[in-house]
Amino acid sequence: MTFKEEFAQALRHQRLLMKHRPDRLRIRALIYLAWLLFFGFFFAVIHGLQGGRLGTARWWVHDVPGHMVVSACVTACFFFVFRGFEKFAPQRWLDTIVGWRDWRAGLFYTSVSVGCSAIGVVIGLAVVDHVWLTQNWNKALSQPAFWAEFLVISVVISFIIGLRYRARWKQEALQARITESQLRLLQGQIEPHFLFNTLANVQSLIDFDPERAKLMLERFTDYLRASLGQLRGESTTLAQEFAMLEAYLGLMQLRMGERLRVRLDLPAELAGFELPPLLVQPLVENAIHHGLEPKVGGGAVTVSARREAGQLCIAVEDDGQGLDAPKRRVGNGLALDNIRARLTARWGPAAMLALLPREGGGTCSRINIPLPL
């Protein structure tokens, strides 16, 4: 990543609340320094124009350094207030605020920004008075016109920054929809092997076990009805996702017989949660094909959803061969990358997919998605 790309990424991260900042410290320090110099010089110019001494020796020697000190105090106040909030506030608060894309985001950031600016200005003027032995501190703070000007400028700056963020949010939302459409198309390219395998199984059963072939075809129809219905929309619910998984696992049980044991666990209060369609099925498919089918005795697969620390946790567990077993089919990594990309497109970095060794043997695939308050 080039310096320009890293700097741009750090700028984008500045408008997100994060417990742990992924950007390098010197890049973040450079951003704060740029803010400090810009606002210090900006207000020095305004003050110089008002006093009629812009560009004079006094302006350079007194006004510019004084405004830089005030700007440094305001910048420090922003840093400590926002970093303190990120460190000590619960993660679910941060996820909720980051998810706001309406007037609530503007009200929160404007209120905190105006408060930080006011505290920083008071501290900065006190420092300037102490260093330059001026009397600006009491004089400025006691004038209503000073605070009226401060409030107007702060609100205008916050409004302009808010408009910029709003435009970027709309652009990101559009990009997320485009990305989701591309990934759903990619998901459609991952599915055909399952469809062809099922049809081949039905064909092989027709001659010597027509009843079982008929049952498999019925289950296959149920699965197609559930999955194709999801693909027509941008979102589905956990209840619909689990219904599709039940149809899919029913097909797998017909093929594997007693070698496959299944358990689905979906609490009623989470049934209506919306998520991208066909998000969980690739994990179930991997659990069967890479974990259970290669075992002579088969095994069990469990799909569960639960609320955990302000997040939705969807877990797919199997007692199969585990993560170290050789993969039987190319495309496993592609399916996992697809899931991770769809999670990021919908919820950002707060959503994640992790593959972990299961206690007692096997694999546990976990999807974590932030829940609204």
Residue whose structure tokens are 């094909």 = 289
pLDDT tens per residue across span 240-256 = 899 889 988 988 888 88
Per-residue tokens: 195:
């469809």
Span 145-155, pLDDT tens digits: 767 777 787 77
* CA-CA-CA-CA torsion sign (201, 206, 212, 215): positive
Rounded to two decimals, what is the model's pTM?
A: 0.54
Burial of 267 (0-12, 13-18, 19+ CB in 10 A): exposed
Domains of the chain: 3-179 (no CATH), 191-370 (3.30.565.10)
Work out the percent of the chain whose per-residue pLDDT is above 70.
84
CA dist., res. 330 & res. 350, Å (int): 29
Q: Check pLDDT > 90 for residue 265.
A: yes
Please give the single-letter amino acid code of residue 21: R
pLDDT in tens, 271-296: 999 888 888 988 998 899 888 988 88
b/e per residue 337-354 (b: at least 16 CB within 10 A): ebbbbbbbbbbeebbebe
Within 13 A of 26's CA, how many CA atoms are on the CB side?
1
Q: Residue 326 and residue 276: Cα distance in Å, rounded?
A: 29
What DSSP state is assigned to residue 358? Answer: P
Exposure string for 119-158, b = 16+ CB within 10 A, e = fewer:
bbbbbbbbebbeeeeeeebeebeeeeeeeeebeeebeebb
Pairing relation of β-strands 363-370 and 352-357? antiparallel
Most confident of 96-110, 143-157, 222-236, 238-252: 238-252
